[in-house]
A = this chain, B = another copy of it.
Amino acid sequence: MGSGTFKVLTRNTALINARAGADIRIVQVGARRDNPAADTRGVAVTRDVFEVARNPEVDVLVELIGGTTTARELVLEAIRHGKHVVTANKALIAEHGNEIFATARASGVMVAFEGAVAGGIPIVKTLREGLGANHIEWLAGIINGTTNYILTAMAEEGKSFAEALAEARARGYAEADPTFDVEGIDAAHKLVILAALAFGVPLAFDRVYTEGIGRLSLEDVAYARELGFRIKHLAIARQGERGVELRVHPTLIPENCLIAEVDGVMNAVMVKGDAVGPTLFYGAGAGDEPTASAVVADIIDVARALNVPPEARVPYLAFAEEGVNGRPILSIEEVETAYYLRLEVVDKPGVLSQVASIMSDRGISIEAIIQKRPREGASHVPLILLTNQAREATLMGAVREIEALPAVVGEVARIRVETLDG
């Protein structure tokens, strides 16, 4: 990522300086590993990244090394030396942001992190400033390119999860160990940052519910489509009467909604504000230069504000006082959503009425049902239900009871549904 930032800064120097009203220069590059291919055009390179954090010539440290151990020490060291910090490190901000911002506040320095969420999409600035007049009701994002690439390959090309993942790896869109992306941890990091900016809740990475896409079957992708939905791996934050929801999971969304059309590695974030209504912000969520676009925009902001008194700067997390929103973060059991359920049932009369009665006993109403004909040679048939909004705990109770029915074979496949219109 450092090379992308270096490239953009050197390619667009005149333009960037004209926008910043300042002469932005790269004083020193810290790179822990030797990279003979990197052309740093005569800029001094050090193998000790901490040297940059202490270099008296440096006003702004740009942290692009990733990880949370050295990166945290490096950023804190820079702050203690009175440097401003620009970073694209979502894990660092999500997990150590509270400490970093507190230290930065004490030192009177800026910490900017546009590149940490959704790559080149300026969603941090949008939430922090552009939509600042709004009570943000909810936001929902495709903020991990790897999972969106896999889901697109499943939906458009009929590839299985395993095939799609292999293809993503071959194209460099997935790491050797894809857990971080596929299980939603990367998206969760980004989501807590967005929620803090939108709602004023504290950064609370450990409170995000995450569910990966590894168990999604092609069958469910196809049935979803038949029902007029697409399946996306959404990161959702919502504030309601009872509290704040923070969740990352596969989600059925209506096919006619704009974010359903966001395919491949592209990212998009929908934001619903009380004044502005629904909005959507779309662009490349990863990649050297898209990330550099965000990092350099932060550098311009910081350069312009070098002599601005700290109290007149935009607050780190959008609110003058952080964590002002006292609403509790709900556990997933307390969250209410609609559900897609797929049951495999023995093909005989009475099963549907048993299932329907379990649902109705718990006050869960059914919005749509598809009963399929048995597959060639199979003794059971898929039964697909769309429920109305129900509390997770209630729904799970119903699912367990349904799974215990003699006519129901195996586990109930379940995927949450969001209409994104409320």
Q: Is the interface of A mostly helix, strand, loop or mixed?
A: mixed
Size class of A's contact patch?
A: 35 or more
Residues of B within 8 A of A373 (CB): none
Complex Cα gap A294–B273 (Å)? 12
- Interchain nearest-CB distance for A337 vs B (Å): 24
Residues of B within 8 A of A304 (CB): 312-314
Interface residues as binary, A317-329 with B (CB distance below 8 Å gives 1, 0 otherwise): 0111100100000
Are A276 and B281 in contact (CB-based, < 8 A)? no
Residues of B within 8 A of A15 (CB): 135, 200
Partner of A19, one of B121, B294, B309, B315: B315
Are B12 and A297 in contact (CB-based, < 8 A)? no
Q: Does A175 contact B (CB under 8 A)?
A: no
Q: Specify the chain B residue showing the minimal Cβ separation from A123.
A: B130
Q: A281-B281, A312-B307, A319-B18 are in contact. Are A126 and B122 (CB under 8 A)?
A: yes
- A: residues with CB less than 8 A from B are 4, 8-9, 11-12, 15-16, 18-21, 114, 119-122, 125-126, 128-135, 200, 258, 261-262, 273-284, 287, 289-290, 292-297, 299-301, 304-309, 311-315, 318-321, 324
Partner of A131, one of B122, B274, B284, B301: B122
Are B133 and A16 in contact (CB-based, < 8 A)? yes
- Interchain nearest-CB distance for A56 vs B (Å): 22
Are A133 and B12 in contact (CB-based, < 8 A)? yes
Q: A276-B290, A279-B282 are in contact. Are A18 and B324 (CB under 8 A)?
A: yes
